[in-house]
Amino acid sequence: MLPTELSKVEQKDAVYLLYSNVGMGLFITFITSTVLVLTFPHDGAQRVSQMLWWGVLNLVLLLRFLDLGYFFIRSRHKESFSFQRALTRFTGGALLTAALWSLYSVMVVYHQDWAELAITCIIIAAFSGGSVTFLSASRKMSMVYCALLSLPLAIALMLSPIENYDTLGYLTIAFVFVMVTGASKAARYTARSIHLKHQNDHLLSHMEQEVAKRTQEIYSLSNIDPLTGLFNRKAFSEKLEYRLQTQPNAKLAVLFIDLDGFKTINDSLGHETGDQVIREVSKRIQQNIEPSDLLCRWGGDEFLLTVEQHDQLLEDAQEIIDLISIPYVIDGSKLSLGATVGISYYPQHGTQHERLIQRADMAMYNQKRSKKGQVGIFDESLREHLLREIRLRDHLENAIHRHELFLVYQPIIATETGRIDSVEALLRWRLDNEMIPPDEFIGIAEQYGFIRAIGLWVLGEACLAGKRMQAHHEGLGVSVNVSIQQLLDDDFPEEVAATLKRTDFPAHCLDLEITESLFAHDKHRLINNINRLKSLGVQVSIDDFGTGYSSLSVMQEFDVDFVKIDRSFIWTMDTGGRAIVEAVSQIASAFDYKVVAEGVETEEQRRLLTNMGIEYLQGYLFLPPVPEHELMQHLG
């Protein structure tokens, strides 16, 4: 009956479509049958059968006309009208009409009147073709109607003894197949059309709700952080600016909350664990604020909070830090995290939201440098210093590509021969004609993660320069300083091996200098990476020895080649430093390490160090750090 893929509402439309098309069809059927009976009157008993057929057909047509009127009157004014019953009545009337026409066509075959048979076949064909369109709202009925209308005629023709009737029967069978197939396709197309119509009706009737829903989705995408459900950077900035404009007399505080130790968790345990931690942090912060406060996730591990200024603000900020610092249990692992908070005040520290956020960031950053896990308040004295640091940070990231970094070299002299044995590569940075001190930019590079890329560039440049200088001084060694981040990286030994291969620099001529303070970190990993470097043939030195972490234990546990005594002891040899130098020399000798004295500036220092048996000297007495081309003049 109705296509099964149609919903109940769509089935109503299908029934409406059937009844809408049937009126003209019934009228044509009445005219056609009447003309046919009057034009081709049969003789005798066949005339009685012909008139009886006509009477029954018209009775059926009358009943169908009455049903048509009943349908349109009752379906429009009665909510509980049964469309399924209406469909049953319609189907019964249509199939009964088809059966009566097929009965008449069989009668015509046996009447043996070629003219009447031809006209009847034309009528049957026309009704079959019309049903494909007019009955397409019901696929099964349309197909049955076509078959019932034509198939008995085809069978009667094939069974007739009259010459050529059987051929006409076969053609009618083919016609039946074509009509049934066409009816099926037309019905499917109509069903799809009704379905699409209702889809569009649904869209139009629910347009307002859909628009509201999509508007909310767009708002969420552009204003809400998907991980935490908090405002994102854009929404926070807009809402803070709106509050400043609409409440100019309010006294507000902007808190910049930065997590301490999150990067380690994220890098070591993965982003999924990191995301869980961020979500938990956001929940904890929300537990400690008022509904009127503005809170957002500003960036990866940064949150911004705007509150009313009040007497307990600093205590509340510290309470947020303490709440964040409570250990987290993620997938059975207990994770520790901290936070540092910077605060700026409105209107004391600015009247624009960008400036308030920037100064809260400055206060947080300065507090993090001095002591993490506490609250810092913006002070104007921080501004120039922090702005310079921010400027250096922004420029340092691309300093290599802009060719602002370069190396200078200071020779290391063999005490026994007085000749240059090796050189130390030292990094320099020229920014806008200003020389930035290494003590200032190295810390920035380490803090913001630039040091690994810079360190690898320094290693490559030093090896290339060393290869060129060895053409003038065979066997010249090159010393390169290594940062803690490089040495803790398990990929660093492979990077060193790749650099040596690329530059064709001999491994035994490369000396990697590590500061003594490195050994306060992951000692097991350091020992493993140092051993891997030593297996390449690379030499390792402890730089600034005596100023850092557990000097004697360092010498016992780490397989190094050189110990470089810090210049501070060389400069104070006349006031107690001499005893320390002698002690270090003796200990190094016991471990079979060679000693390099840094910061040698006078002939007296040279004489004393030589008499102590120090193997190598380095300092301004011999040559300050100079560019490669200038150092070449001293090689030979």
- Helices assigned H by DSSP within 471-522: 484-487, 492-503
Q: What is the mean pLDDT of residues 392-413?
A: 93
**CA within 13 Å, CB half, 7:** 10
Distance, in Å, from the CA atom of 61 to the CA atom of 205, rounded to the nearest integer, reads 39
Residue 557 reports pLDDT greater than 80? no
Q: What is the mean pLDDT of residues 394-404?
A: 91
- Tens of pLDDT, residues 496-534: 999 999 999 999 999 999 876 565 556 788 888 999 999
Structure-model confidence comparison of residues 252 and 556, the more confident one = 252
Structure-model confidence comparison of residues 589 and 55, the more confident one = 55
Q: In this predicted structure, which of 99-108, 179-188, 363-372 has the lowest mean pLDDT?
A: 179-188
Which residue type is seen at 324? I
Residue 6 reports pLDDT greater than 60? no
Cis peptide before 248 (omega within 30 of 0): no
Q: What is the mean pLDDT of residues 411-427?
A: 94
Provide the pLDDT for residue 184: 79
- Going from the C-alpha of 90 to that of each of 182, 494, 533, the distances in angstroms are 21, 85, 93
Work out the number of other CB atoms within 10 angstroms of the CB of residue 511. Answer: 22
* Tally of residues, the chain: 636
Which residue is listed with tokens 């552009």?
222
Using DSSP's 3-state secondary structure scheme, residue 334 falls into strand
Strand 420-431 and strand 405-414: the pairing is antiparallel
Distance, in Å, from the CA atom of 603 to the CA atom of 594, rounded to the nearest integer, reads 21
Res. 65 pLDDT band, cuts 50 70 90? confident
Provide the pLDDT for residue 43: 80
Beta-bridged to residue 431, according to DSSP, are: 434
- Tens of pLDDT, residues 228-274: 999 999 889 999 999 999 998 999 999 999 999 898 888 878 888 99
Distance, in Å, from the CA atom of 466 to the CA atom of 43, rounded to the nearest integer, reads 126
Provide the pLDDT for residue 632: 92
Instruction: Catalogue the E-assigned strands of 319-433.
Output: 328-330, 333-335, 338-346, 375-377, 405-414, 420-431
Q: What is the mean pLDDT of residues 351-358?
A: 91
- Helices assigned H by DSSP within 81-164: 83-111, 114-134, 139-159
Using DSSP's 3-state secondary structure scheme, residue 145 falls into helix
Provide the pLDDT for residue 4: 42
Provide the pLDDT for residue 407: 96
Using DSSP's 3-state secondary structure scheme, residue 248 falls into coil
Work out the number of other CB atoms within 10 angstroms of the CB of residue 379. Answer: 12
Provide the pLDDT for residue 550: 45
Provide the pLDDT for residue 453: 93
Task: Give yes or no for a contact between 307 and 286, defined as CB atoms under 8 angstroms apart.
Answer: no
Q: Which residues contact 325 (CB under 8 A, 6 or more apart)?
A: 336, 337, 338, 339, 373
Q: Measured at the alpha carbon of residue 119, what is the angle toward residues 118 and 122, in degrees to the nearest 5?
A: 90
Structure-model confidence comparison of residues 100 and 458, the more confident one = 458
Provide the pLDDT for residue 214: 63
Distance, in Å, from the CA atom of 92 to the CA atom of 89, rounded to the nearest integer, reads 5
Task: Give yes or no for a contact between 176 and 213, defined as CB atoms under 8 angstroms apart.
Answer: no
Across the chain, mean pLDDT equals: 85
Enter the tokens of residue 50.
């012909």
Which residue type is seen at 391? R
Provide the pLDDT for residue 219: 58
Structure-model confidence comparison of residues 98 and 228, the more confident one = 228
Per DSSP, 250 falls in state -
Res. 278 pLDDT band, cuts 50 70 90? very high
Task: Give yes or no for a contact between 368 and 340, defined as CB atoms under 8 angstroms apart.
Answer: yes
Nearest to 431 by CA among 405, 401, 458: 405
Q: What is the mean pLDDT of residues 333-362?
A: 91
Instruction: Catalogue the E-assigned strands of 87-131.
Output: none
Nearest to 504 by CA among 533, 453, 468, 529: 468
**CA within 13 Å, CB half, 290:** 9
Q: In this predicted structure, which of 66-80, 301-315, 522-536, 583-597 has the lowest mean pLDDT?
A: 66-80
Distance, in Å, from the CA atom of 14 to the CA atom of 175, rounded to the nearest integer, reads 26
Q: In this predicted structure, which of 285-289, 309-313, 322-326, 382-386 has the lowest mean pLDDT?
A: 382-386
Using DSSP's 3-state secondary structure scheme, residue 264 falls into helix
Strand 562-565 and strand 539-545: the pairing is parallel
**CA within 13 Å, CB half, 100:** 22
Per DSSP, 230 falls in state S
- Tens of pLDDT, residues 604-636: 999 999 998 899 999 999 999 999 999 999 886
Task: Give yes or no for a contact between 383 and 344, defined as CB atoms under 8 angstroms apart.
Answer: no
Q: Which residues contact 127 (CB under 8 A, 6 or more apart)?
A: 29, 98, 101, 149
Enter the tokens of residue 335.
């994770």
Residue 546 reports pLDDT greater than 70? no
Using DSSP's 3-state secondary structure scheme, residue 561 falls into coil
Q: In this predicted structure, which of 112-116, 143-147, 322-326 has the lowest mean pLDDT?
A: 112-116
Enter the tokens of residue 516.
């003594």
Nearest to 180 by CA among 217, 135, 222, 213: 135
Res. 544 pLDDT band, cuts 50 70 90? confident
Percent of the residues in the chain that have a pLDDT greater than 90, as a whole number:
38
Instruction: Catalogue the E-assigned strands of 434-561.
Output: 434-436, 477-482, 510-515, 539-545
Provide the pLDDT for residue 286: 93
Q: What is the mean pLDDT of residues 132-137?
A: 76
Instruction: Catalogue the E-assigned strands of 117-230.
Output: none
Res. 80 pLDDT band, cuts 50 70 90? low
Enter the tokens of residue 342.
């910077």
Distance, in Å, from the CA atom of 582 to the CA atom of 442, rounded to the nearest integer, reads 32
Give 3-state DSSP helix, strand, coil % of the chain, rounded to 5.
60, 15, 25
Longest dimension (CA), the chain: 154
Task: Give yes or no for a contact between 15 and 83, defined as CB atoms under 8 angstroms apart.
Answer: yes
Provide the pLDDT for residue 2: 41
- Going from the C-alpha of 96 to that of each of 100, 183, 189, the distances in angstroms are 6, 18, 26
| Kind plus residue range of the DSSP H or E element containing 206 | none
Provide the pLDDT for residue 91: 84
Percent of the residues in the chain that have a pLDDT greater than 70, as a whole number:
90
Q: In this predicted structure, which of 161-170, 328-337, 370-379, 386-395 has the lowest mean pLDDT?
A: 161-170
Res. 3 pLDDT band, cuts 50 70 90? very low
Cα 508 vs. chain centroid, distance in angstroms?
Answer: 46
Cα dihedral angle (85, 87, 92, 93), rounded to 10 degrees? 110
Q: Which residues contact 291 (CB under 8 A, 6 or more apart)?
A: none
Strand 252-260 and strand 338-346: the pairing is antiparallel
Structure-model confidence comparison of residues 75 and 446, the more confident one = 446
- Tens of pLDDT, residues 591-611: 888 999 999 999 999 999 999
Provide the pLDDT for residue 540: 92
Distance, in Å, from the CA atom of 480 to the CA atom of 506, rounded to the nearest integer, reads 14
Provide the pLDDT for residue 5: 47
- Going from the C-alpha of 411 to that of each of 86, 478, 621, the distances in angstroms are 106, 9, 11
- Tens of pLDDT, residues 525-543: 888 899 999 999 999 998 8
Provide the pLDDT for residue 479: 95
Q: In this predicted structure, which of 204-218, 305-319, 475-489 has the lowest mean pLDDT?
A: 204-218
Nearest to 522 by CA among 475, 487, 547, 569: 487
